[in-house]
């Protein structure tokens, strides 16, 4: 039996009629096309081909790509709330969209005119997929510790090294890759360059790019995460994001993607929390114990109240960060706060939902156990929550330094 009043990422928020119309369409797609099949596909770890095709037809892959390149040109607020709604259906779906969002945003913001024309229309149409690759087997939150190199050889770069946990890395046609072009640079970040590595041969002798089989994961099934290994892999110098004269600016270019990426992860955390609350409210009114529905027992009410309150707080932190970023301002502190709080809330809501469901929450027959497996990744992705605390504190100290 459905809830009398729905649980939504955008109800109660101050948004425009146009934003609401877009979000209503996304929500309807989630309810009709994602939720009914997510359980079966996730259990098989199967890529959601039909769902992706539906998203292509809706223009979802071009939500943040400028209209002049065939995208929808949506603001970050609308996109963030759309991602929350997609994640409410199944986190894998928002992960598939996320690659286009980060890489498309980097190309739109930093790419050369030639790169924009070559990639953005195809990304917007969903004709090609993209992935964002920074993490290495020995370097995660400490981005400056990467060791993958790109050595200049005439008009080409020769890439050697490995990248880890690359979501969409197998199906992606273009990889936004962070490499060291000057390993001796001091400070280290000034020797980093972002390359757009196209899997289609760009030079005569391209060398080797190995894609591992999908890595085994606790959750986040349905979308592949792989290791990429580059062995004397060659790309033209023109593959430098923004053009050859932008070598050495890769750290800043990638971090611009990460800042909005943290808002994205916060939204995905919100989506899991919304679904956890939605399922908990339904179950708490159907399951009876000691002569009445468990939702009328005070301990269960405390859990529901806590979940709902934290969800509302998460919404407004995400909204504040997205609006500040939309205004053109730096939003590192706000994005960090939104990511930290919304993803910790996500973990808490998933666990509380499992407790409310009791033994059924541990059963694969119910959706709750999937939420519980998907939630932890949100606290790790786009910089661990421990790193977010450092970013928030350093940012505040810098903003409010003593005169």
The residues annotated as belonging to the active site are 382
Sign of CA dihedral 308, 314, 316, 322: negative
In the numeric block, the tokens 């956890």 are attached to 276
Give the H/E segment covering residue 229: strand 225-236
Say if residues 236 and 156 touch (Cβ distance below 8 Å): yes
Q: Are 62 and 70 in contact (CB under 8 A)?
A: yes
CB neighbourhood size of 185 (10 A): 14
C-alpha dist (Å) from residue 208 to 6, 157, 202, 232, 244: 51, 13, 13, 6, 22
Token pair in block for residue 68 = 């002049």
DSSP for residue 154: T
> Minimal CA–CA distance to 87: which of 311, 327, 354?
311
DSSP-derived pairing of the beta strands 288-289 and 149-153: unpaired
Residue 10 to residue 344: CA distance in whole angstroms: 20
Structure token digits, residue 86: 């997609």
Residue 180 — left, alpha, or beta (φ > 0 → left; ψ -120 to 50 → alpha)?
beta
Question: What H or E segment, with its residue span, contains residue 292?
Answer: strand 292-293
């Amino acid at each position: 039996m459905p809830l009398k009043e729905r649980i939504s990422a955008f109800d109660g928020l101050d948004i425009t009629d146009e934003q609401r119309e877009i979000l209503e369409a996304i929500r309807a797609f989630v309810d009709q096309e994602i939720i009914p099949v997510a359980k079966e596909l996730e259990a098989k770890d199967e890529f959601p081909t039909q769902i992706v095709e539906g998203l292509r037809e809706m223009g979802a892959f071009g939500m943040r790509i400028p209209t002049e390149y065939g995208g929808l040109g949506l603001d970050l607020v609308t996109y963030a709330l759309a991602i929350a709604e997609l994640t409410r259906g199944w986190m894998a779906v928002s992960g598939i969209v996320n690659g286009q969002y980060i890489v498309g945003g980097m190309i739109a913001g930093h790419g050369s005119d030639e790169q924009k024309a070559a990639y953005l229309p195809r990304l917007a149409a969903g004709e090609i997929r993209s992935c964002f690759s920074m993490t290495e087997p020995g370097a995660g939150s400490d981005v400056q510790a990467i060791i993958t190199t790109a050595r200049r050889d005439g008009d080409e770069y020769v890439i050697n090294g490995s990248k880890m946990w690359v979501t969409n890395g197998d199906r992606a046609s273009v990889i936004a890759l962070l490499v060291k072009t000057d390993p001796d640079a001091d400070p280290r970040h000034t020797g980093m360059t972002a390359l757009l590595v196209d899997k289609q041969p760009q030079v005569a002798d391209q060398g080797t790019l190995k894609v591992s089989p999908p890595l085994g994961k606790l959750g986040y099934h349905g979308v592949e995460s792989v290791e990429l290994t580059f062995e004397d892999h060659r790309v033209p110098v023109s593959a430098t994001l923004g053009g050859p004269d932008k070598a050495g600016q890769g750290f800043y270019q990638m971090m611009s993607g990460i800042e909005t990426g943290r808002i994205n992860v916060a939204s995905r955390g919100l989506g899991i929390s919304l679904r956890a609350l939605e399922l908990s409210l339904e179950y708490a009114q159907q399951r009876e114990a000691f002569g009445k529905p468990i939702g009328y027992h005070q301990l269960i009410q405390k859990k529901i109240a806590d979940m709902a309150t934290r969800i509302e707080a998460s919404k407004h932190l995400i909204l504040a960060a997205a609006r500040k970023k939309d205004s053109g301002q730096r939003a590192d502190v706000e994005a960090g706060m939104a990511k930290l709080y919304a993803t910790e809330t996500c973990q808490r809501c998933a666990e509380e939902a499992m407790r409310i469901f009791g033994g059924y929450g541990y059963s694969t027959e119910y959706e709750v156990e999937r939420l519980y497996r998907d939630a932890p990744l949100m606290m790790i992705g786009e910089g661990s929550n421990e790193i977010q605390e450092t970013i928030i504190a350093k940012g505040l100290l810098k903003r409010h330094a003593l005169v």
